[in-house]
Structure 1
Amino acid sequence: MKRILVISDIHGEIEKFEKLLVETQYNAKQDQLILLGDYVDRGSNAKAVIEKVMQLKEEGAFVLKGNHEDMMIKALTTNEEKSWNHWVKRNGGNKTLYSYDFSESDIAVNKEDFEKPVLKSDILENHLKFIQELDHYIETEDYIFVHAGVEPTKPVAESEPYTLMWIRNEFHNGYNGEKTVVFGHTETKTLHGDEENCNVYFGSNRIIGIDGGAVYGGQLNCLELPSQHVYVVKE
């Protein structure tokens, strides 16, 4: 493989995702594509993004699970009101379900007596099975690829999957390992401390954050390794 290309936090932005793959001139036979999770929620076409991700995985891409996939799985495979509301009402899961042609009334619940809606969709079931089987990290000789980060005091192989999908400040401030960690999850403008800066964040402690906040009007970033060249799509 000539290049490693890393993308994270697509959040239903299928047009930006496809433009970015064109911008990078991605070639599955020559490049190793790594996707770090959060394909769904908040954006308008999670269904199309997952379909594209499934295709790319078939062609050789490595695909990881993000915290939004974690929320989606919990909401759709349990009958817990808390999990349902956390995903649908607070984290954009409603937009994901709309992309599968469910309406607002289809996903409405009774506030007095919770009962999860019955959602019939073979495509959704297939996509749910796909995201349930995704890995949580990739470790190579030089890098760790993960959605949110790693526990600073543990080998990544000993970390809890939940932590790998959700951790923030403890990792950002405390990591001091030998391998470079490439991650998404936390918008780079937060890491930069600058609301206008959506560019890839290169930390002094060998952490590289790539979530440009595309679904919030930011940008979708792709990090090329080992060159550390960055490709960007804003619209």
Structure 2
Amino acid sequence: MQHSDKSIFAIGDIHGDNDALTRLLRRLPVRPETDQLVFMGDYINRGEDTRAVLETLIEVKKQYAHTVFLMGNHEHLLLEYASHPDVEILRTLRKMGIETTLASYDATVRELQGLSFMPESHRNFLHSLVLSYSCDPYLFVHADTEEADIAASMTASEISNPHRAVLVDKALSNRRLIREYVKDDPRQNITSKTEQENGEPASAGASNSGSSTICAFNASDTEGVTVTTPYKQERLVVFAHVSFEMPLVMPDRICVDTGSVYGNMLTALELPAMRFHHA
């Protein structure tokens, strides 16, 4: 099927916000038998309704013919702890809001091992998540990472590799954009509060530095409108993981995480129309 025959909708980090998820799904002009939904990972933690989110996503998989569910770093770490309990992993999970996930199941930390507190359908869903999805000219990944890191983590996931968890975590937790366009270039007016203590979405400003131009748009500007990139690139990477108050559009990359769980909006990007939808 050619891209002209279908649309792809990439949906940003949900983090237990089932209300925003259901509202967004109602607003998307998706043709269930033709169009594709790509969920970008981080469905769990922080928000209050992780259980409801997983139920909704499982139903979406049944109702829509073409769905892809990426793994986020939150799901990966939960699965790692469930298989290999470690106090350091648990400490990180607590910082990531695992208690809200457990509360949605009326469960306790003691039940994390083996995910015994979850229905089998939820466990199967988490184990079915994929690390990336390629549909030329698009590449969908949870975090803005190097394709080499994705390839290494995928290879490691297919064999018995003692470094698998490290490789996968690297691919799912990368903040390449922040390193390249903020720390190394003081002219860029972008900060990511996901690297700060409060964990709220960052604001984003536009700055012109040649091919590294970053364009950020207000929600009112992007709801149902078409956005064009400065030039046509060979491959467009769509990612999430680092939350901003507004969708972030760059010549070769687009971030669709707009911090729904922090009281902001949940965003979906429609391709190839380059149209944003919000809830």
Q: TM-score, normalised by structure 2?
A: 0.68
1:200 pairs with 2:276: no
Unpaired runs of at least 5, structure 2: 154-166, 182-211, 213-232
Measured after TM superposition, the shift of residue 51 of structure 1 is: 1.5
Contact 1:151 1:170 in 2 (8 A): no
How is 1:151-162 mapped onto 2 (pairs within 5 angstroms)?
Answer: 151=146, 154=148, 156-158=150-152, 160-162=167-169
Match 1:78 to one of 64, 76, 84:
84
Measured after TM superposition, the shift of residue 132 of structure 1 is: 2.1
Aligned to 1:24: 28
Amino acid at match of 1:23: R
- 2:171 alignment partner, SS class: helix
Contact 1:28 1:61 in 2 (8 A): no
Tell me: CA distance 1:119–1:33, structure 2 relative to 1, closer, same or farther (3 Å). Answer: closer
Aligned to 1:191: none
How is 1:36-185 mapped onto 2 (pairs within 5 angstroms)?
Answer: 36-58=40-62, 59=64, 60-87=66-93, 89-102=94-107, 106-107=108-109, 120-123=116-119, 125-151=120-146, 154=148, 156-158=150-152, 160-169=167-176, 173=180, 178-185=234-241
Aligned to 1:195: none
Q: Tell me, in whole angstroms, the C-alpha distance in 1 between the residues paired with 2:8 and 2:76.
A: 25
Q: Tell me, in whole angstroms, the C-alpha distance in 1 between the residues paired with 2:177 and 2:248.
A: 17
Tell me: CA distance 1:27–1:92, structure 2 relative to 1, closer, same or farther (3 Å). Answer: same
Tell me: CA distance 1:119–1:65, structure 2 relative to 1, closer, same or farther (3 Å). Answer: closer
- 1:10 alignment partner, SS class: coil
Contact 2:18 2:49 in 1 (8 A): yes
Unpaired runs of at least 5, structure 1: 109-114, 189-197
Measured after TM superposition, the shift of residue 163 of structure 1 is: 3.0
Aligned to 1:193: none
Contact 1:57 1:63 in 2 (8 A): no
- 2:95 alignment partner, SS class: coil
Measured after TM superposition, the shift of residue 29 of structure 1 is: 1.2
Contact 2:138 2:236 in 1 (8 A): yes
Aligned to 2:13: 9
Q: Tell me, in whole angstroms, the C-alpha distance in 1 between the residues paired with 2:140 and 2:177.
A: 17
1:35 pairs with 2:59: no
* Alignment length (residue pairs): 211
RMSD of the TM alignment (CA)?
Answer: 2.7
Measured after TM superposition, the shift of residue 55 of structure 1 is: 2.1
Measured after TM superposition, the shift of residue 146 of structure 1 is: 0.5
Cα deviation code 1:10-62 (max 9, x no counterpart): 00100100100111133321321100100000000111111211222233311
4+ long deviations beyond 6 Å: 115-119
Contact 1:5 1:32 in 2 (8 A): yes
Amino acid at match of 1:211: D
Contact 1:63 1:134 in 2 (8 A): yes
Q: Tell me, in whole angstroms, the C-alpha distance in 2 between the residues paired with 1:61 and 1:172.
A: 31
Tell me: CA distance 1:82–1:28, structure 2 relative to 1, closer, same or farther (3 Å). Answer: same
Q: Tell me, in whole angstroms, the C-alpha distance in 1 between the residues paired with 2:150 and 2:92.
A: 27
- 1:61 alignment partner, SS class: strand
Q: Tell me, in whole angstroms, the C-alpha distance in 1 between the residues paired with 2:152 and 2:236.
A: 17
Tell me: CA distance 1:120–1:161, structure 2 relative to 1, closer, same or farther (3 Å). Answer: closer
Contact 2:42 2:73 in 1 (8 A): yes
Larger % of helix: which? 2
